[in-house]
Amino acid sequence: MTLPLQDILAILPELIVIGTACLVLALDPITPPSHKDALAWLTLAALSVCLGLTSSQMSVRISAFSDIVVIDPYASFWKILLYVVTGLTVLLSLAYLKAERLHIGEYYGFILLTLSGMMVMVSAADLLTIYLGTELMSLSLYILAGLKRADSRSLEASAKYFVLGAFSSGILLYGISLLFGVAGSTRLSAIAAATALRGVTDPILMVSMVLLTVGFGFKLAIAPFHMWTPDVYQGAPTSVTAYMAIASKAASFGAFLRVFVEGLGGLRGDWYQLLLVLSIITMVLGNVVAIVQTNIKRMLAYSSIAHAGYALIGVVVAGKLGGGAGSNGLASVMLYLAIYAFMTLGAFAIVGMLRKGTLESDEIQDFTGLAKREPLAALLMLVFLVSLAGIPPTAGFIGKLYIFMAAVNAGLAWLAVIAVIFAAVSAFYYLRIVMVMYMREPELSVTPEPRFEHSPALSIVLACALAGVLLIGLFPNMLVSLAILAVPLMK
Amino acid sequence: MSDVTTFPWLTLIIFFPLAGAVAVCLVEDQQARWIALGVTIADLVISLPLWWSFDSGSSHMQFFEHVAWIQTPPINYSVGLDGISLPLFLMTAFLTPFCVVASWSAITSRVQGFMAMLLVMETAMLGVFAALDFVLFYIFWEAMLIPMYLLIGMWGGANRLYAAIKFFLYTLAGSMLLLVAILVLYFNGGHTFDILALSRGTYSASLQTLLFWAFFAAFAVKVPMFPLHTWLPDAHVEAPTAGSVILASVLLKMGTYGFLRFTLPMLPDATITFSKLMIALSIVAIIYGAYMALAQSDLKKLIAYSSVSHMGFVTLGIFVLNQQGIEGAVMQMINHGITTGALFLCVGMIYERTHSRLIKDNIGLAGPMPRFATCLMIFALSSLALPGTNSFVGEFLVLAGTFLWSKIATALAALGIILAATYLLWMVQRVVFGVPAAHGDNRLVDLNPREMATMTPLLILVFWIGLFPNPFLSRMHTSVGKLLNGQTDVLGARMTPVHFAEIEVKASRRVIRDHQDGINSGR
């Protein structure tokens, strides 16, 4: 059997990423520790090639390997977002790994493997392929989470993530197998046809829909499937935490939306109600529990849970309305996650690089009086926190505006009211960090004093995150039209 | 909307302070003070021509600018001023330089940050009064929360952290509901955020009721109306002088401006339905605020509660829904801005000298500080609406408007004036004329030239508006008339018998003429 060249070309970005990953892993043993940075630059070069390839095919719509993989604007949107996030994470890692004295070249290889898994997730049109992508992403992340081998919290994070992740993968697989039983195929198009044929009242369809929701719920870290999140986010190296919180959430949303819209679109009258309940639980739990956290990585973990709850509102709208108005709901989700990426990455970059000697200072009290010691870092953190709280003129406001707008359009103004009330709650814990940074005097007794470790790579990361937060906040046109172009059409 | 100016005059005025804020961040402390002062004064100077080139006879938005900003949904950068927003816009530009001067020696730490925050605030405040797109309005409205939070929290008094977060959460919770209301209006008002187009729309009674309460949550917290006022005394007491001035003079007006610009024209039926309740809340605020002010031993708290009382007059004037009431309300917004701002400046000057805001620590200042005592006396008299001062014009018009609505309400509101006289004169009696206890080792020096320079323009304005209010009133006649014309049907029905109302209008006009040369409410 010969592989058609056309199909190979369609997945060229994936191949480049996987090839570079192998190259990095192979080169790592023969690279002296002082030159490990070269592997990061190799990674970045591969990413920029992929970025160029994918953005040149932004409006292309093709399918490959007998419809297992599709290249459409929707997949390209997520891929571009993933390249940008991965590139910035690599830059952040350059600074972070050096500060942590972790001279591990495989790191970049695993980052690329994670990325390739995510890319498969967002462009697969077949449940098994999606599952493969999910596993590739998750397995690489389990390793990355445990990378600080000397730190028991990092190992705990890795183990916990693995056990719960494997459990959730099992549930996902169970849902997939039930759907296979119904449709006789794992193609999303075949499942959509089977759903239309069987009608929406079929209990097996219901069960498999619920199982898929649970399985994806773990990956998306929405309540009540969020239990792993705080421990893993706290224990994992901060650059990995940022990557998990942003890229893995974005890719999971990408796959989740495609499965539920293209595969289970016929059941949208049912799943939107389920997701509506989950979205409320997620917003309430994430925002309320975040208030009592004393560790900033845990706080950001709960905040990322809450943000997934806001994004879910857009999915609920899509399920309730369907059609063009439903697509607007999906576009608001995509927009929200793109914005969320920049502000969360900025916040994690600051957290990771604020250090007490060789140790990370990730307790909220370490931020005390930061404005006096590190005015620029404090100001950047202020901007990212304000954006996370959704206050204009930052990008966070634009994200919330579109989500709430979709909700009001779907006659869910009451849901928007719940969301804004908890957005006000979230302002309380975000502003607590601002208060600690700006309104408390630095504690002199703390030794060594938390300092911010500057480096050129970090400056690029922070500049990009800041530009993303402010430019999208002030001129969202481009991103909005991109999201509208990329959104899948709903029936 | 006809006056499309070619030069973006308003945009320049709105964003010039923001550019100044960036510049301030890059320089040393002393230079920051001078740059901030220069920027705010320059901004005032370039905004003054608006006053003369404003066409009083037109109810259209003037100095109109419109630039498409976001395509889907259509959110535009559109700004403009009418007779209601023009005075508030100019008052904001007028008062900010005083905030800079008042902070000259009072703020010694992180001066660049302070001045930058003040300048960012100015941009946001000017933007709120000029915005003609609902989302743009909301962006300016929210954008000032963070600078104000930092002003209170970083440069405030001992209990500043509590006050800052309380201010922030109160106002944020209210305004977030406003956001949902804006979006609901968008889908019910023809898919537009244009304030003028939304004001022309008609909405069902049940929708109006819901939106009314969402608007109320945002605006009443800002005003603040009883019973949502509890953040105000805390914020005022802890804020630095400039923060108190901005809070009292401009921020509170944004709430009442919101009622005038949005609630009245967009939700006329709900406004009529709930006007009785709003008037009742206003009267409660007038009397309750005054009683609370009587009981205060802290000067800032006293003025803060007097603000609750005075802002009660403004909301009273708005919700009696007639020309006198609303013009009085707008006048009173300006007057309160000037007088209360000046009173906070006075307290700031005392505090810089004695480091106490308690009345008992500041007794008998007339001896050592005669110039200061005179200023405090005049502003206190202006605050209690002595004829000849600015507040008399506003409160009189509000009471005249209320008289048309209900005599009992007028009597109750007038009680507030009597109480104001009580608490203010009692304060003046102690602070100015009391027999001083041993002052410790404070050396009380009278106002220096810088401080006199801040007092003098305010003193002039107190008497200018008090004696010649016509230039102010004439600029708002047409706009207020248009605001009310949108509701003539409902109003006419309520003000039966019509001839009786007309008699009352004439009577009140005569009274105004008798008492105040220069007021001419005849149109």
Question: Model confidence over A156-207: pLDDT tens digits?
Answer: 999 999 999 999 999 999 999 999 998 889 999 999 988 888 777 788 889 9
Residue ranges of B 351-410 with Cβ closer than 8 A to chain A: none
Interchain proximity A417–B177, CB inside 8 Å: yes
Is A427 close to B153, i.e. CB distance below 8 A?
no
Closest Cβ opposite residue B187 in set A409, A421, A428 = A409
| B196-B199-B200 Cα angle (round to 5) | 95
The DSSP-derived string for B221-286 is HHTTPTTS-THHHHHHHHS-HHHHHHIIIIIHHHHHHHIIIIIHHH-HHHHHHHHHHHHHHHHHHH
Sequence letter at residue A21: A
Average pLDDT over residues A394-399: 93
pLDDT given at position B504:
42
What's the gap in Å between the CA of B178 and the closest CA on chain A? 10
Per-residue tokens: B181: 């209301």
pLDDT at B500: 32
Among B154, B164, B169, select the one facing A424 at the smallest CB separation: B169
Q: Write b or e for each residue in A5-14: b if 16 or more Cβ atoms lie within 10 A of its Cβ, otherwise e.
A: eeeeebbebb
Q: Would you state the pLDDT for residue A491?
A: 65
- CB distance A257 to A330 below 8 Å: yes
pLDDT bucket at A2, cuts 50 / 70 / 90: low
* Mean pLDDT taken over chain A: 89
Which residue type sits at A128? L
Q: Which residues of B270-308 are buried (b: 16+ CB within 10 A; e: fewer)?
A: bbbebbeebbbbbbbbbbbbbebbbebebbbbbbbbbbb
* Res. A264: pLDDT tops 50: yes
> Chain B interface, mutation test: which of A287, A376, A408, A475, most B Cβ atoms within 10 Å?
A408
A405 reaches B (C-beta below 8 A): yes
Select the residue from B69, B72, B203 to test the A interface by mutation, using most A Cβ atoms within 10 A: B72
Return the ∠ at Cα B437 (arms to B435 and B441), rounded to 5°: 130
CB A252 within 8 A of CB A219: yes
**Nearest residue, CB atoms, B180 vs list A404, A428, A481:** A404
A 10 A CB-CB count for B486 gives 15
Instruction: Determine contact: B496 vs chain A, CB below 8 A.
Output: no
| Alpha-carbon gap: A416 to the closest alpha carbon of chain B (Å) | 7
User: Quick check: B413 and B399 in contact, CB under 8 A?
Assistant: yes
Given a cut of 90, is residue A487 above it in pLDDT?
no
- Partners of residue A418 in chain B, C-beta under 8 Å: none
Task: Taking residues A39-67, report their average pLDDT.
Answer: 89
Whether B249 contacts B95, CB under 8 Å:
yes
Q: Say if strands A354-356 and A69-71 run parallel, antiparallel, or are unpaired.
A: unpaired
Between A245 and A359, whose confidence is greater?
Answer: A245
Note whether B68 contacts A: Cβ–Cβ < 8 A. Answer: no
Kind and range of the H or E run holding A408: helix A395-409
Instruction: Give the count of Cβ contacts less than 8 A between chain A and B.
Output: 79
The answer to whether the Cβ–Cβ distance between A405 and B186 falls below 8 Å is yes
Mean pLDDT confidence for A46-62: 89
Instruction: Find the residue in A nearest to B151 (Cα).
Output: A439
| pLDDT-based confidence at residue A230 (cuts at 50, 70, 90) | very high
pTM of the model: 0.90
A480 interfaces chain B, CB cutoff of 8 Å: yes
Among A24-33, A234-243, B20-29, B237-246, the range of highest mean pLDDT? A234-243
Using pLDDT thresholds of 50, 70 and 90, give the confidence band for residue A60: confident
CA distances from B46 to B23, B49, B56, B84, B126 (A): 19, 7, 20, 20, 13
**Helices of type H across A184-237:** 188-198, 203-220, 228-235
* Whole-number Å distance between alpha carbons of B189 and B193: 8
User: What is the per-residue pLDDT for B493?
Assistant: 35
Nearest residue in B to A391, CA atom: B142
| The pair of three-digit structure tokens given for residue A143, joined into one six-digit string | 């390793």
Task: Name B76's bridge partners.
Answer: B68
Chain B residues with CB inside 8 Å of A484's CB? Answer: 72
Q: Which residues of B touch A392 (CB under 8 A)?
A: 138-139, 142-143
- Which DSSP helix (H) or strand (E) runs through A488? none
Mutation target to probe the A interface, by most A beta carbons within 10 A, among B14, B172, B211 is: B172
- CA A132 to mean position of chain CA atoms: 18
Do the chains contact at B180 and A405, CB–CB below 8 Å? no
CB-nearest to B142 from A392, A431, A438 is A392
Give the pLDDT confidence of A316-366 residue by residue, as tens digits.
999 998 888 888 899 999 999 999 999 999 999 999 888 877 777 788 888
Is A442 at the interface with chain B, CB within 8 A? no
What pLDDT score was predicted for residue B523? 38
A438 touches chain B (CB under 8 A): yes
Smallest CA–CA distance, residue B154 to chain A, in Å, is 5
Type of residue numbered B359: I
pLDDT tens digits, chain B, 523 residues: what are they? 444 456 888 888 999 999 988 888 888 888 888 888 999 999 999 998 888 888 887 777 888 888 888 888 889 899 888 888 899 999 999 999 988 888 888 888 888 888 999 999 999 999 999 999 999 999 999 998 899 999 888 888 788 888 888 888 888 888 888 999 999 999 988 888 988 888 888 888 899 999 999 999 999 998 888 888 888 888 888 888 888 889 888 999 999 999 999 998 888 888 888 988 999 999 999 999 999 999 988 888 899 999 999 999 999 999 988 888 888 899 999 999 999 999 999 888 888 888 888 888 777 777 788 888 888 889 999 988 888 888 888 888 888 888 888 888 888 888 888 898 899 998 888 888 877 766 555 667 888 888 888 888 999 989 888 888 888 888 888 888 888 876 543 443 333 323 333 434 444 554 455 555 444 444 3
* Interface contact B72-A484, CB threshold 8 A: yes
Chain A hits for B154, Cβ within 8 Å: 438-439
Residue B497 in tokens: 């018998």
Asked whether the beta carbons of residue B168 and residue A427 sit closer than 8 angstroms, the reply is yes
Q: In the predicted model, is pLDDT for residue A106 greater than 80?
A: yes
Given a contact cutoff of 8 angstroms between Cβ atoms, the answer to whether B452 and B459 are in contact is: no
Beta bridge partners of A187: A126
C-alpha distance from A402 to closest chain B C-alpha (Å): 9
Residue-level pLDDT at B113: 87
- Asked whether the beta carbons of A276 and A416 are under 8 A apart, the reply is no
B344, B265 Cβ separation under 8 angstroms:
no
Which residue out of A368, A379, A401, A471 would a mutagenesis test of the B interface target, given it has the greatest number of B Cβ atoms within 10 Å? A401
Cis peptide before A448 (omega within 30 of 0): yes
Q: What are the chain B neighbours of A428 within 8 Å (beta carbons)?
A: 165, 169
CB A122 within 8 A of CB A255: yes
Of A120 and B174, which is predicted with more confidence? A120
Among the partner-chain residues A408, A431, A439, the one whose CB lies closest to the CB of B180 is: A408
Cβ-based neighbour number of residue A292 at 10 Å: 10
**Amino acid found at A42:** L
- In the block, tokens 């800032």 appear at B300
3-state DSSP assignment of residue A33: helix
Residue B184: list chain A partners with CB under 8 A. 408, 413
d(CA B420, CA B414): 10
The CA distance from A295 to the nearest CA of chain B, in Å, is 21
